Structure 1
């Protein structure tokens, strides 16, 4: 029996399996949208048939970084803005592992913005959930990359002079192949979108609106919301890049006008993931690298030797 015998195990999965045996008391503030992410994630896992041994959850710094403390699976708490490169390494070493990364808007769109862009560009097969509350919550209320123009905070007492970034449009331009926005106030949609993102082959980016009742008093503007797939006003093809771009423009503009649009924004199923492309050109082995740690007869290759061979 290898250490990976639990992967692809055929059995019915229960939601409670993703609750730690000794459940820690969550330290999120009452009314925090982060509870909604945790609930939706736990509900999504049985939908896709994954058990805790098949999942690895990577988090960054901030309130969102506590997610894997309350979620029973393999987990890695990285430094600020660095959850994605660590998650990418895990997925490349063991493609059968279901990899999920999570971080806040400051973590993913600020200090880790470069990793977010290039992970999308390379289309790594993983799900990235960004807790977007338009504020730095854990560090007590500083302006973040998604704070609206004019927003007053400890770091911008006279109001932010900068326009917020547009994360959906940014990810489309970068190359993500599944892009969606959901909200903690819409738990059923959130569960469905997370399940779809996990099943998607490629980089799936979820901008998850999570109200912060402590440091962002404008959190109430996340209610009410409009599901663009259920509304008669919006009729666009999620697989059409131009139509998706226009829908994202409307979504990102209307958020700061008091209208919250959520739903699937763009889905591309034909583009191969980074790992698939690497295996196709022979730069990655078909057998997961991680298996070699448990195979006494495995022949190890050194990158150093391969580089020397190319330069002879």
Structure 2
């Protein structure tokens, strides 16, 4: 018996299947960029060929953490900065699931920054969406890791003395095999990037610019934007690590100068995912661990037994 019998089912999928019946109407502030993330994700899923039963959405704390309340699928609302370890465990236990993790810039680049780096380093097969609005929104407007230098907030009333984190460059340095940036004001590009991210075998990081009209009114609305993959002004190869790194540096500099660059920055299709590598060296079974819960004849293995045997 299959743990998830719906996985692999071939049928037409409608985006409205991803709208929950209990709480279909999001309660984000009017004009919030988070609406754009939800819309793009709902549009992308049918294109990827996934149903709600084949999808797990793990979220952190913050305005972005409400995403799985408005998205019909399996969901896990984790504690602050901890969506990635939960998502990693789920993907390793059941590789057939489409696993998406989501969090804000404070959740993902601050409190969960350590998990972000090591999930990228290990190249876990999942998509990680970071709602980047350059502010802590849910806790009422404190400076976040991506707030620009000089930004005034409740925690930095005289202006932040720190340079903002460079999320794209950090992702590449850490080892992510797919890196992109899009914006809530560009829903068509956002959908296409999410499709490509979910179809990628490995860790796909999407830095999603989401305006916050309530707590970050000084921030730009991320318009006009330029798609670097279509623009004649920016010619680079996203499969070339050095060229991607230079393009990321340019993008991160220009954002705070008023020029919004978006697109796919890096793509490595050759590198195996963490799960693939573990199965190749025999440290993970070919049969998903999740299947064993439904096998009445399975004789359970315990990790401590393996260690005890080595010391006998």
| TM-score normalised over the length of structure 2 | 0.98
SS in 1 for 2:7: coil
Q: 1:200 to 1:87 in 2, by over 3 A?
A: same
**For residues 180-219 of structure 1, what are the structure 2 equivalents within 5 Å?**
180-219=180-219
Q: Distance in 2 between matches of 1:311 and 1:228?
A: 57
Shift of 1:22: 3.1
Q: Distance in 2 between matches of 1:221 and 1:92?
A: 38
Q: Distance in 1 between matches of 2:279 and 2:311?
A: 22
Q: Distance in 1 between matches of 2:311 and 2:117?
A: 32
Is this contact kept in 2: 1:221–1:260, CA < 8 A? no
Shift of 1:12: 1.2
Is this contact kept in 2: 1:14–1:46, CA < 8 A? yes
SS in 2 for 1:208: strand
SS in 2 for 1:76: strand
Q: Distance in 2 between matches of 1:139 and 1:275?
A: 36
Could you tell me which runs of 5 or more consecutive residues in structure 2 were left unpaired when the two chains were aligned.
none
**For residues 3-18 of structure 1, what are the structure 2 equivalents within 5 Å?**
3-18=3-18
Is this contact kept in 1: 2:45–2:195, CA < 8 A? yes
Q: Distance in 2 between matches of 1:210 and 1:262?
A: 13
Q: 1:236 to 1:115 in 2, by over 3 A?
A: same
Q: Distance in 2 between matches of 1:44 and 1:14?
A: 11
Is this contact kept in 1: 2:178–2:205, CA < 8 A? yes
Structure-2 residue corresponding to 1:83:
83
**For residues 231-246 of structure 1, what are the structure 2 equivalents within 5 Å?**
231-246=231-246
Q: Distance in 2 between matches of 1:200 and 1:2?
A: 25
Q: Distance in 1 between matches of 2:2 and 2:157?
A: 57
Is this contact kept in 1: 2:3–2:290, CA < 8 A? no
Q: Distance in 2 between matches of 1:21 and 1:3?
A: 24
Q: Distance in 2 between matches of 1:46 and 1:219?
A: 33
Q: Distance in 1 between matches of 2:115 and 2:247?
A: 25
SS in 2 for 1:206: strand
Report whether the alignment pairs 1:67 with 2:46: no
Is this contact kept in 1: 2:3–2:293, CA < 8 A? no
RMSD (Å), alpha carbons: 0.9
**For residues 217-236 of structure 1, what are the structure 2 equivalents within 5 Å?**
217-236=217-236
Is this contact kept in 2: 1:221–1:259, CA < 8 A? no
Shift of 1:84: 0.3
Q: 292-301 vs 76-85, which deviates more?
A: 292-301
Shift of 1:49: 0.3
Residues 288-310 of structure 1 deviation map (CA, whole Å, 9 limit, x = unaligned): 00111011011211111111233
Is this contact kept in 2: 1:221–1:258, CA < 8 A? no
Residues 166-211 of structure 1 deviation map (CA, whole Å, 9 limit, x = unaligned): 0000000000000000000000000000010000000000000000
Structure-2 residue corresponding to 1:51:
51
Shift of 1:3: 3.6
Shift of 1:221: 4.3
Is this contact kept in 2: 1:104–1:130, CA < 8 A? yes
Structure-1 residue corresponding to 2:265:
265
Q: Distance in 1 between matches of 2:244 and 2:115?
A: 23
Could you tell me which runs of 5 or more consecutive residues in structure 1 were left unpaired when the two chains were aligned.
none
